[in-house]
Amino acid sequence: MRLDELINDNYNKLNENDLLIWQYIQAHKDECCSISIEELAGKCCISRTTISRFTQKLSFEGFREFKMHLKLEYEAEKKQKDVLLDDVCLNYEKCIQTARDTDMQEICRHIYKAKRLFVFGTGEAQNSAAQMIKRMFMYAKRFFVVLAGKSELTMALEDLETDDFMIIISLSGETDLAVKAAKKVKSKGAYLLSITGLSNNTVAKLSDKSLYITTNHLMKIGAVSFETCSSYFNMVEILCVKYLLYLEQNEKEN
């Protein structure tokens, strides 16, 4: 069992000094893996006996056994962080390579010919990617309307025409609002591009063209999950660069 779990399970047994010891250990895990009981007692301004009693309240025989457990846990956490960093960096490389290798000629052609351009993101990171699309395509003199929220999305969908272009950005591709929007776009006959997580999701299946990104799960605090989101921005940036190259090629041909 992890030390923080032992602290929670035995919280009612702990006094103010015990919590002071734990707070110091949490803030200095690396140091405490090799610290002596005398040194720790000096750091916390308490006695050796108090530290021994603290470790025994957590079901350890004494400070030596507690310190061994702390060291094993710290090394495991450090190794996990190193692996996570490698995974995240590898994912960045894969996403960039995938975006680079994806044929976006059809997408670029429809952006070029579209009468109006719309983009909708289902969450905070997705909406940031939508804002990035708006900002970057301004350099190419194509102006995306970012639909902020359900009401703006609903109004735009009702007014949609066959020569319009819509982008839906959603990680799961399964949120109720995104799926309903994708169905509405298709019923209106407009062109639909989706940017979603790499899965066989409903929004992607309804789209004329799909671009896929992958994310890394970083951590979970309570009920909140944290994931990387830079893949959205990598994909958007490469899409814009490919559009600029498409314009350049058009000029040469004409």
201, with CB counted inside 10 A (0-12, 13-18, 19+), is buried
pLDDT digit string, tens, across residues 145-201: 999 989 999 999 999 999 999 999 998 999 999 999 999 999 999 999 999 988 889
Is the pTM of the predicted complex or chain greater than 0.85? no
**What are the boundaries of each domain within the chain?**
3-80, 102-253
For residues 213 and 22, what is the distance between their CA atoms, to the nearest angstrom?
Answer: 41
Largest Cα separation within the chain, whole Å, is 86
Task: Name the H helices within the chain.
Answer: 3-9, 16-27, 29-32, 37-44, 48-57, 63-101, 105-113, 124-138, 150-158, 176-188, 202-206, 230-253
pLDDT digit string, tens, across residues 15-69: 999 999 999 998 998 899 999 999 999 999 999 999 999 999 999 999 999 999 8
Q: What is the helix (H) or strand (E) element at residue 218, kind and residue range?
A: strand 217-221
For residues 25 and 15, what is the distance between their CA atoms, to the nearest angstrom?
Answer: 16
CATH code given to domain 102-253: 3.40.50.10490
* Residue 178 and residue 170 in contact, taking contact as beta carbons nearer than 8 Å: yes
The distance in angstroms from the start CA to the end CA of the chain is 69
Tokens at residue 169, please? 């950005």
pLDDT digit string, tens, across residues 62-83: 999 999 988 888 887 776 666 5
CATH code given to domain 3-80: 1.10.10.10
